Amino acid sequence: MSQHEKSQNFLSKIKSNRKKRFSEDSVFRATVLLIACNIFIILGLIIFKITQGAWLSIQTYGIKFLWGTTWQPFPPDPTVPPSFGALPLIWGTLITSAIALLLGVPISLGIALALSEFAPKSFNYIISFFVELLAAIPSVIYGLWGIFILIPFLQNNLYPQLQATLGFLPFFQGTIRGSSVLTGGIILAIMIIPTVSAISRDVFAAVPNSQREAIIALGATRWEKARIVMGYGRSGVIGAIMLGLGRAVGETMAITMVIGNSFNMFTSLFEPGATLASIVANEFTEASSPPVYISALMEAGLILFALAIAVNASARLVIWRSTRKIKEAEML
């Protein structure tokens, strides 16, 4: 074999190797791509399967399901067909989430500021671990703690005082119950604190130091510096709050265990109520017949799904835009 042939041989070997390699790489690429597509398939299947299950209810009650106020799977008069409407559930979900935000957000912002602006760094590490532990505790344990520790405490100490001082307001009137909408809101507030505070802390930590230095140079106090930081990270904080709202809306077990599970268009926060999530957890396994009962519960789940996705997607959008803004500002 001549030298030339030898080198020709070698070259073609390399070429075929490279070809093989390219095909191997494209096989690899195609495989991971297919696996990554699971996300589209899963979400598609979830939407399809739940809509399919809810279809009977959607057909029977139409759009009125959203503002109907009766929930009668077994009407007292057996000739009357069962009827379902979700307004009290939507009401319960919105009010408990609103209470959670009202109580949880100021506390979370306080924590985020304390950790990012006021406290020494060595202290941060251990404290943020404890705050994050709040997120790790399973929701059923929150529920158990809610029933046997939180409720007795609130019912005997806080609620009577609350009624004595603010009893003239319509939502603090009536008999005080431990298993009530207010208790549900309070437990949700505790559960969203780790989410909101952790993200806000990261947002504050991302605020460029030049901002802090500038305001300190003007002679600001620590609180005035913190206000500038909060103002700078405002949209990120809004995103964090909305993620907290998303968590509050979808939370199931803890709230099911403390809200009292009563289908009720409540006006007083001391009344028991129900949320979209709690009614599913509470009634689904027993709802074998009539078929429209299960279907109505699935429609409640579908509304919850839509609500959670809307809240979370807008939260992502807000956070994404705010981090982009900060990045752009840093580049200038």
- Chain positions 56 to 85 lying near another protein, rule: CB under 8 A, are none
Nearer to another protein, 110 or 174 (CB): 110
Return the residue matching tokens 């990012």.
116
Sites for another protein among residues 135-174 (CB under 8 A): 136-145, 147-150
Within 278-297, the residues that bind another protein by CB under 8 A are 280-281, 284-285, 297
CB nearer another protein, residue 130 or residue 168: 130
Q: Which position among 5, 78, 79, 129 is part of the footprint of another protein (CB under 8 A)?
A: 129
Q: Is position 42 an interface residue for another protein (rule: CB under 8 A)?
A: yes
- Token pair of 59 as six digits: 């057909």
Q: How far is the CB of 14 from another protein (least distance, A)?
A: 10
CB of 278 within 8 A of CB of 301? no
Size of the site for another protein (CB under 8 A): 88
Nearest to 241 by CA among 128, 109, 94, 124: 109
Is residue 171 classed exposed, middle or buried when 0-12, 13-18 and 19+ CB atoms within 10 A define those classes? middle
Instruction: Pick the stretch among 84-92, 154-162, 217-225, 263-271 that binds another protein (CB under 8 A).
Output: 217-225
What is the closest distance, in whole angstroms, from the C-beta atom of residue 26 to another protein in the complex?
9
Distance separating alpha carbons of residues 66 and 300, to the nearest angstrom:
9
Q: Binders of another protein among 225-264, rule CB under 8 A?
A: 226, 243, 246-247, 249-253, 257
46 near another protein (CB under 8 A): yes
Please identify which residue in 181, 237, 259, 304 interacts with another protein, judged by CB under 8 A.
Answer: 304
Question: Is residue 102 involved in binding another protein (CB under 8 A)?
Answer: no
**133 to each of 110, 136, 217, 282, 322, how far by Cα in Å?**
18, 5, 37, 27, 27
Closer by beta carbon to another protein, 119 or else 173: 119
With respect to another protein, which residue has the nearer C-beta, 38 or 70?
38
Q: Would you state the structure tokens that stand for residue 69, as one six-digit string?
A: 């106020």
Q: Nearest-CA neighbor of 261 among 245, 235, 280?
A: 280
291: tokens are: 């078929």
CA distances 5 to 2, 9, 10, 16, Å, are 5, 6, 9, 16
Q: Is 324 in the site for another protein (CB under 8 A)?
A: no
Residue nearer to another protein on the CB measure, 90 or 111: 111
- Strand, helix or coil for residue 137: coil
**What's the closest the beta carbon of residue 152 comes to another protein, in angstroms?**
12
The residue whose two tokens read 């399967």 is 49
Residue listed under structure tokens 């964090």 = 240
Residue number with CB closer to another protein (44 or 208)? 44
Provide, rounded to whole angstroms, the least separation between the CB of residue 311 and another protein. Answer: 8
Residue 217 found at the interface with another protein (CB under 8 A): no
Q: Single out the segment in contact with another protein by CB under 8 A; choices: 3-11, 44-52, 61-69, 165-173.
A: 44-52
Six-digit token string for 240: 């964090």
Q: Taking CA 113 as the corner, what is the angle to CA 109 and CA 118, rounded to the nearest 5 degrees?
A: 155
Q: Which is nearer to another protein, 88 or 146 (CB)?
A: 146
Instruction: State the residue for tokens 């409720």.
Output: 151
Report which of 236, 205, 233 is spatially closest to residue 315, judged by C-alpha positions. 236
CB of 181 or CB of 303, closer to another protein: 303
